[in-house]
Amino acid sequence: MNSRVESLALPGQLAGRTAIVTGASSGIGRTTAALFAGRGARVLAVDLNADGLSELADQVAQPDSFRTFTVDLTEDDAPDRVVHECLDRFGGLDTLANIAGKAGDAPLEDTSDDDLEFFLRVNLGTAFRLSRSAIRNFAESGGAIVNTASTFGLVGVRGSAPYSAAKGAVTSLTRQLAADVGRRNIRVNAVAPGLVATPATQAKIDAGVFDDVVTRSRPLPRVGAPADIANAVAFLASDDAAFITGVTLPVCGGWSTTRFRE
């Protein structure tokens, strides 16, 4: 793990948990998978990028409790394959972190039906379908699901119609699943990241693309780090959040809840 993740490790916070973490080859998903492992969970790290997963496995270096699985989560049988892999490797499942997703900028009038379908399939469909497979196989004692929404799904942001709509649907899915499975002692929450420096966003951050819409209107001055989001995911997955369900937690430096001007 890198020094940022190591400094945030709370040994034992997730001890005894068995978790699937998607989107684990880079960015937020990679840090979340490493952080889960550092806090005691058995982790199946899932992504389409086999090379990224291999690098992560070398970094974590816990072969008995950390495994990787390469799959395209949009394939019809992918959710069941992922869950069965976890059950085969670790003998159980009680935690799911749906990190995988895809951002993009497009106004409504420039969005094709194929564009809309893509963003719904990747951001909403993968979380919906994998949650369904996981819930069917959770232990009788219950478990936790943490979805990844977005601050763009909480407020209106010009020029992001298909992405914002899909992420808004993730927030609604989180509330609905919490209602559906709460009596089975399964908690369902979400994080809504703001602007986070990842391989997917760094070039735009460096170019100042987000300066007007995000940076100058956010109270906290720095850009988010993947560990900021991973910490929130770990909290919601842990017993520290044992009486929290149906919540979408913004992790955005105050951008979604305040308006700040310099």
Domain range annotation of the chain: 3-196+225-246
Do the strands 186-193 and 143-148 form a parallel or antiparallel pair, or are they unpaired?
parallel
Residues noted as catalytic = 163
Give the residue carrying structure tokens 């850009």: 223
Residue 7 pLDDT? 46
Class of domain 3-196+225-246: alpha beta
Q: Burial, 79: exposed, middle or buried (Cβ in 10 Å; 0-12, 13-18, 19+)?
A: buried
pLDDT, tens digit (0-9, with 9 covering 90-100), for 145-194: 999 999 989 988 887 888 899 999 999 999 999 999 999 999 999 999 98
Cα-based torsion angle of the residue sequence 6, 9, 12, 16 in order, rounded to the nearest 10 degrees: -80
Could you tell me the two tokens for 60?
Answer: 């974590």
Residue 233 pLDDT? 98
pLDDT, tens digit (0-9, with 9 covering 90-100), for 85-137: 999 999 999 999 999 998 887 788 888 999 899 999 999 999 999 999 999 99
Q: Burial, 235: exposed, middle or buried (Cβ in 10 Å; 0-12, 13-18, 19+)?
A: middle
pLDDT, tens digit (0-9, with 9 covering 90-100), for 7-57: 445 667 999 999 999 999 999 999 999 999 999 999 999 999 999 999 999
Distances in whole angstroms, Cα of residue 5 to Cα of each of 9, 41, 110, 225, 248: 6, 15, 40, 10, 23
